[in-house]
Amino acid sequence: MSAIPQPLIELSQIRKVFRTSHGALTAVDSIDLIVERGSTIGLVGESGSGKSTVARMLLRLLTPTSGSIRILGEDVTGWSDKKLKPVRSMLQWVSQHPAAALFPNLTVGQNIMEPMRIHGIGMAQERQRKARGLLAKVGIPQEGFHAFPHELSGGQQQRVVIARALSVDPGCVVLDEAVSSLDVSVQAQILNLLQDLQEEMNLSYLFISHNLAVIRLVCDEVAVMFLGRVVESGKTREVFDHPLHPYTKKLLAAVPSFTPDGGVTQLDESSLLQGDPPSPLNIPSGCAFRSRCPYARERCAQERPLLRRVGTQDVACHFAEEIAAE
């Protein structure tokens, strides 16, 4: 009998409560997430919805208040920093600001080799050979090996950050707004590069972005977060073509698109999100989205909707069937 392959990463019911001077702040609550090898999962939601906190727990840079994190079936939730060291090389992170992520006093080559040095991978010569190979893979000429980060453009710096993340042969790379600071044509180049590398190296990505067009382009699956919880998840195409949660509908309604005559669609004010989300220091009872929801009624104030299967996706709304039938 063949063993069932374990998911690369599995987050079960993870929760993160920060102790702040204003009281307990629930940044993430009851989230389940499975990252399979070679797949890309998108996390979307307004600022402060908890996306980076989920990513930091997945990377084991933060310990969840409760819930568990499994890597290839092994529960690593309570592991010490020492025990986590080999796990950390499997999980890499690319953030929004490449200039801040690179060591300014190290050359590009030294930056790429640094994680290999930290994790004791290979001898000096081997590391150099691998770093040069990665530099070529991310499309930077070999002369760049001895350059310093400030001598490169933002797009080139992000390529170096990606090469550095790949130097330790990770299974999963978290891309937290990784292309947001780049201009549109460079964004497209980096996205193509990421897709090529994924195919070649069977990488998994957790992709966080406010740009829903980018999410649609690169993600197999997407999870929509509101105030620390997932309110809708499923295959990206299904969720984006037939959103069932009122919050997902509002997020998508705010994306302008081009018209056939070269103009831009007018956004209908009434379909956009109004007001701010409630404070994570004081999460309301019932459905946390109800103060901004056009479908809200009595039941929404009393009963918190749980994530449940409706058609092709998971949705946390009492009236998802009704919305689906519209």
Contact residues for ligand SF4, defined by CB under 6 A: 245-246, 287, 289-290, 293, 295-296, 300, 305, 317-319
Query: Of 265-304, which residues contact ligand ATP (CB under 6 A)?
Result: 280
- One residue of 6, 18, 238, 286 binding ligand ATP per CB under 6 A: 18
Per rule CB under 6 A, is residue 52 in the interface with ligand ATP? Answer: yes
Residues 6+ apart with CB under 8 A from 163: 112, 131, 134, 135, 137, 138, 140
Pick from 93, 53, 43: nearest CA to 220: 43
The distance of closest approach from Cβ of residue 158 to ligand ATP in the complex, given in angstroms and rounded to an integer, is 17
In this complex, which beta carbon is closest to Mg ion, that of residue 56 or of residue 245?
A: 56
Quickly list DSSP for 42-96: EEE-STTSSHHHHHHHHTTSS--SEEEEEETTEE-TT--HHHHHHHHHHEEEE-S
Quickly list DSSP for 143-160: GGGGS-GGGS-HHHHHHH
CA distances from 313 to 39, 230, 241, 289, 296 (A): 17, 12, 11, 19, 21
**Token reading at 110:** 């030294």
The distance of closest approach from Cβ of residue 123 to Mg ion in the complex, given in angstroms and rounded to an integer, is 38
Q: With CB under 5 A as the contact rule, which of the stretches 48-56, 68-76, 127-135, 247-255 interacts with Mg ion?
A: 48-56
Per rule CB under 6 A, is residue 204 in the interface with ligand ATP? Answer: no
**Cα 106 from chain centroid (whole Å):** 28
Task: Read off the amino acid at residue 272.
Answer: L
In this complex, which beta carbon is closest to ligand ATP, that of residue 45 or of residue 109?
A: 45
SS3 content of the chain, % helix, strand, coil (to 5): 40, 20, 40
The distance of closest approach from Cβ of residue 20 to ligand ATP in the complex, given in angstroms and rounded to an integer, is 5
**Alpha-carbon gap, residue 261 to 274, rounded angstroms:** 30
Per rule CB under 6 A, is residue 229 in the interface with ligand ATP? Answer: no
Q: Please tell me the count of residues contacting Mg ion according to CB under 5 A.
A: 1
The distance of closest approach from Cβ of residue 250 to ligand SF4 in the complex, given in angstroms and rounded to an integer, is 10
Instruction: Check: CB of residue 108 under 8 Å from CB of residue 148.
Output: yes
In this complex, which beta carbon is closest to ligand ATP, that of residue 51 or of residue 245?
A: 51
DSSP 256: -
Q: With CB under 5 A as the contact rule, which of the stretches 46-54, 68-76, 213-221, 261-269 interacts with Mg ion?
A: 46-54
In this complex, which beta carbon is closest to ligand ATP, that of residue 114 or of residue 176?
A: 176
Per rule CB under 6 A, is residue 53 in the interface with ligand ATP? Answer: yes
**Token reading at 62:** 């933060």
Q: With CB under 5 A as the contact rule, which of the stretches 10-18, 51-59, 121-129, 145-153 interacts with Mg ion?
A: 51-59
Direct distance between the N- and C-terminal alpha carbons of the chain, in angstroms, rounded to an integer: 47
- One residue of 26, 39, 40, 52 binding Mg ion per CB under 5 A: 52
Q: With CB under 6 A as the contact rule, which of the stretches 41-49, 231-239, 289-297, 308-316 interacts with ligand ATP?
A: 41-49
In this complex, which beta carbon is closest to ligand ATP, that of residue 52 or of residue 233?
A: 52
- One residue of 50, 64, 98, 277 binding ligand ATP per CB under 6 A: 50
- Please give the residue ranges that form the binding site for ligand ATP (CB under 6 A): 18, 20, 25, 27, 45, 47-53, 280
Give contact residues for Mg ion (rule: CB under 5 A): 52
